[in-house]
Amino acid sequence: MKKSKESIFKNKLAWAVVAELLILLVAGILEPNFFHIEYNATTGMFYGSLIDIVNRSAEITIIAMGMTMVIALGGTDISVGALVAVAGAFALKLLRWDVTMYPTPGDYTVKPFILVILVPLLICTAMGLFNGVLIGKFKLQPIIATLILMVAGRGIAQIATNGKQFTTGYTPFRFIGQGSLFGLPFPIIVTIVVCASVMIFVRKTAFGTFVESVGVNPNASRVTGLKSDKIIMIVYTLTGFLSGIAGLIYSSRISSCDSNNAGVNYEMDAILAVVLGGTSMTGGKFSLTGTIIGSLIIRTITTLVYYFGITSESIMAFKAVIILIVIVIQSEPVGKWLATRQARRQKVGELRG
Partner 1 sequence: MKKFLTLALALVLVIGCVANASALTIGFSQVGQESDWRTANTDSLKAMAEKEGWTMVYDDAQQKQENQVKALRNFITQGVDYILFTGVVTTGWDEVLKEVNEAEIPLLLIDRMPDCMDSIDYVGAFGGDFIEEGRRMARWTVNYFNTTEDVNVVILEGTTGAAAATDRTTGINEILAAHPNFKVIASQTGNFTRAEGQAVMESFLKAHDKIDVLLAENDDMALGAIDAIKAAGKVPGKDIIIVGCDSVKAAFDAIVAGDMNATIECNPLYGDAVAELIKKLEAGEPGTRELLHPAEGVFCAEGGIAYDEAGELLSVKAADVIAERKY
Q: Which is nearer to partner 1, 100 or 224 (CB)?
A: 100
- 58 close to 246: Cβ distance less than 8 angstroms: yes
- 271 close to 280: Cβ distance less than 8 angstroms: no
Indicate whether 104 belongs to the interface with partner 1 (CB under 8 A): yes
The residues in 268-307 that bind partner 1, with binding defined as CB under 8 A, are 302-303, 305-307
Q: With helix as H, strand as E and coil as C, how does 250-263 read?
A: HHHHCCECCCCCCC
Dihedral of CA atoms 166, 169, 174, 179 in degrees, nearest 10, equals: 150
Indicate whether 342 belongs to the interface with partner 1 (CB under 8 A): no
CA nearest to 257, candidates 25, 77, 95, 63: 95
Angstrom CA distances, 158 to 80, 151, 261, stand at 16, 12, 11
Q: Which is nearer to partner 1, 187 or 335 (CB)?
A: 187
Q: Which is nearer to partner 1, 58 or 202 (CB)?
A: 58
Q: CA-to-CA distance for 73 and 94, rounded, in angstroms?
A: 35
Helix, strand, coil distribution of the chain in percent, nearest 5: 70, 5, 25
Indicate whether 254 belongs to the interface with partner 1 (CB under 8 A): yes
| Candidate list 112, 312, 317, 349; residue touching partner 1; CB under 8 A | 312
Angstrom CA distances, 315 to 303, 304, 312, stand at 11, 10, 6
Q: CA-to-CA distance for 88 and 97, rounded, in angstroms?
A: 14
Contacts of 165 (CB under 8 A, 6+ apart): 256, 257, 258, 259
Indicate whether 40 belongs to the interface with partner 1 (CB under 8 A): yes
Indicate whether 207 belongs to the interface with partner 1 (CB under 8 A): no
CB of 299 to partner 1, least distance (A): 9
Q: Which is nearer to partner 1, 37 or 325 (CB)?
A: 37
Concatenate the DSSP letters of all residues of 52-85 into one string: HHHHHTHHHHHHHHHHHHHHHTT---TTHHHHHH
CB of 324 to partner 1, least distance (A): 21
In 28-38, which positions are buried (b, 16+ CB within 10 angstroms) versus exposed (e)?
eeeeeebeeee
Q: CA-to-CA distance for 240 and 315, rounded, in angstroms?
A: 30
CB of 241 to partner 1, least distance (A): 21
The residues in 16-35 that bind partner 1, with binding defined as CB under 8 A, are 31, 33
Q: Which is nearer to partner 1, 6 or 31 (CB)?
A: 31
Indicate whether 243 belongs to the interface with partner 1 (CB under 8 A): no
Q: Which is nearer to partner 1, 125 or 295 (CB)?
A: 295
Q: Which is nearer to partner 1, 212 or 267 (CB)?
A: 267
Site mask, partner 1, residues 156-195, x = CB under 8 A? --x----xxx-x----------x-----------------
CB of 111 to partner 1, least distance (A): 21
Q: Which is nearer to partner 1, 58 or 211 (CB)?
A: 58
Contacting residues toward partner 1, per CB under 8 A: 31, 33, 36, 40-43, 45, 47-49, 52, 56, 102, 104, 158, 163-165, 167, 178, 250, 253-256, 258, 260-262, 302-303, 305-309, 312-313, 315
